[in-house]
Amino acid sequence: MHVLLLYRDLNRPGGVPTDLKALCAAMREQGHEITAVAASAAGGGPPPVGVTRSLNLDHPGQILRLRKQLTGHRFDIAWVISLLHPWNTVMRALMYRAAIPLCVAPNGHAVSPDVLNHRFGEKRGFPLNKQMKMLHLRCVDRPLLKDATVVRALSPWEATQVIDMGARRCIVVPEGFPEPVTADETTSTASRSKVFGYLGRLAITQKGLDLLVPAARIVAAELGSQAFRILVAGPSVMGSRDRLQREAERAGMTNIEFLGPLSRNEKPAFWRACDFFLHPSRYEGMSRAAREAVSQGLPLLASKESNMGDWVADEGFGYQVAPTVESVAEGMVLACGVQRDVDTSMRQRARKFSLRWSWAAVAHELSAGFADASAIATGKRGK
Within 13 Å of residue 271, how many CA atoms lie on the same side as its CB? 25
Residues of the chain with pLDDT under 50: 11-15, 41-52, 120-126, 183, 189-191, 381-383
Give the pLDDT score at 14: 47
Strand partners, 278: 301
Instruction: Residue 170: name the closest of 119, 116, 111 by CA.
Output: 111
- Rounded to an integer, what distance in angstroms lies between the CA atom of residue 268 and that of residue 284? 24
pLDDT for the residue numbered 47: 47
Predicted confidence (pLDDT) per residue in 127-153, tens digit: 556 677 777 777 777 788 888 999 999
The span from the CA of 284 to the CA of 305, in Å, is 7
| Gap between the Cα atoms of 69 and 307, Å rounded | 36
Domains of the chain with CATH codes: 2-176+359-382 (3.40.50.2000), 194-356 (3.40.50.2000)
